[in-house]
Amino acid sequence: MLSIGQVSQRTGIKVPTIRYYEQLGLVAATERSDGNQRRYEELAVTRLNFIRHSRELGFSLDDIRELLRISKQDDEPCSDIHAIADRHLAGVRSKITNLKRLEKELHRISRCDANATSDCAVLETLADHSHCKTDH
């Protein structure tokens, strides 16, 4: 059995976050020691590593909850898992498209050659969206 501090060290997840995941039901409630300290089994480390890596890849907590639920069903086809991953990939691609538009607009406005703030294209554009050339 591991203390919450040991689990934190092994997973790279901060103690308050581990407690939060426990409150959300992403990690099973743990046994308590005689001193009322949380005690975790090795399975909790594996599960928390799964959660951490999923979060690093940008999956929402709801998606992670669903992935964990599906993962308990050994004989089920993984099409539902693929659907979650595909939906997330579509969201990432949409964000990339939006970021490219944003990059283009920021590049354009940052190239102003004004000598005074009263003529600065950056300030003008930030104050009035109609000065933008792209839909970002």
Tell me the domain boundaries of the chain.
Answer: 2-60, 79-131
CATH number assigned to the domain covering 2-60? 1.10.1660.10
> Is 133 or 58 the better-scoring residue by pLDDT?
58
Length of the chain (residues): 136
SS3 19: helix
> How does residue 118 score in pLDDT terms, banded at 50, 70 and 90?
confident
Contact 64, 27 (CB under 8 A): no
Q: Is the pLDDT of residue 85 over 90?
A: yes
Rounded to 5 degrees, what angle do the CA atoms 50, 6, 37 make? Answer: 110
d(CA 71, CA 16): 25
User: What is this structure's pTM?
Assistant: 0.80
Contact 47, 27 (CB under 8 A): yes
